[in-house]
A = this chain, B = another copy of it.
Amino acid sequence: MADGARRATMTTVARALGVSPSTVSNAYNRPDQLSADLRARVLATAARLGYAGPDPVARTLRHGRTGAIGLVYDEPLSFSFTDPAAVLCLRGVAAACERHAVGLTLVPRLPAGAPDLVGTALVDGLVLYCLPADDDRLRVARERGLPVVAVDSPRPPLAPAVTVDDRGGARAAARHLLDLGHRRVAVVAERLAADGWEGTAPRARQDANPYDGTRERLAGYRDAWEAAGLDWDAVRVEERAPYGRDAGRRAARDLLADRPTAVLAMSDELALGVLDAAAARGLRVPGDLSVVGFDDTPSAAAAGLTTVAQPHLEKGAAAARLLLDLPGGAAAPPPLPTRLVVRTSTAAS
């Protein structure tokens, strides 16, 4: 079995057996097109020569189908496995891939300057997760002619997308605090632009946010505020990057100096950071401070956080289905619902 020669190919097998390549092809792809006997001989010869079946790449070139979809993410790849909300969404995507028997290719973001893998990944379509509206990778994917579907930004008409009622959820969260009598409320935000800036985000920055999900959340908070006849511009929106629990801690450390009675965190990870900071400062939650998150991740639930639930798994699965169900591309579903989940991190002011 020493193979000094090149790897066996369909032609090799065909020649060894004195048949034509198409017969060997048929042995693999259309068993009914040849006698059982010949087929058995083909397979036996293939085994003897160490031929493992049609080369997937060549077959893909012929068929134009790779059997995988790609996932593009705005953070380092390892983040896909770090952020609880991302993990849930990915689980949904992965489950759908499994059902459709296609692979899921995580497409890494490369250091600027490197030729983008979005342009070369061997996939039949791409899920764009949490990209800013003007991200170049959207354009590259489009030019390749690949079907794309965005999740958590960008939205139509920029790209077909699975959307979530972020705004409604955020509105409910803010109204909840207002109903409890809170008026001195601060917001902890993740990045509102790709520039790594940190600080108290002015209104212009809030509105120019290219990440649709978070822009909508902020808009939802504001809706509730203005519906109550209050001045949104008086609400401090403290932005931190990079995203994560620590960002929440750091934002809260600054914010708490203002002695707010409540904090709206734009995600549960940030909210957990706020809880950390509150504890470090000796504040009781919800006695001294109410905190509302967003996402309803498992650890938020464990911490008793009041938050806004969204169907993460369904969101991911819907995105994958959009790519996989109808090759042409089905219509995007209506916005998925969000729901306020009241736990023990909020109380009357």
What residues make up the interface of A, taking CB atoms closer than 8 Å to B?
A: 7, 50, 52-53, 56-61, 64, 66-68, 70, 76-78, 80-82, 87-88, 90-92, 94-95, 97-98, 101-110, 114, 117, 119-122, 140, 143-145
Contact = CB atoms under 8 A, between A and B. Distances in A.
List 7 tightest A-B contacts by C-beta distance, closest first: A52-B143, A77-B94, A98-B108, A78-B91, A105-B105, A56-B120, A81-B91
Contact of A105 (B59, B78, B104, B140): B104
A117 B98 CA distance: 10
A181 to B, nearest CB: 33
Contact of A81 (B64, B87, B114): B87
8 contacts: A56-B122, A68-B122, A78-B91, A78-B94, A81-B87, A81-B88, A94-B106, A103-B122
Identify the interface centre among A87, A108, A109, A114: most chain B CB within 10 Å of its CB. Answer: A108
A155 B108 CA distance: 29
A57 B60 contact: yes
A97 B105 CA distance: 11
A106 B50 CA distance: 26
Given A67-B122, A121-B67, A107 B103 contact: yes
How many copies of this kind of chain does the complex include? 2
Given A57-B60, A81-B94, A143-B50, A106 B106 contact: yes
A59 B101 CA distance: 25
A94 B81 CA distance: 9
B117 A101 contact: yes
Given A67-B117, A81-B88, 6 more contacts: A52-B144, A57-B60, A59-B120, A77-B104, A80-B94, A97-B106
Contacts of A77: 94-95, 97-98, 104
Contacts of A105: 68, 103-106
Nearest to A120: B56
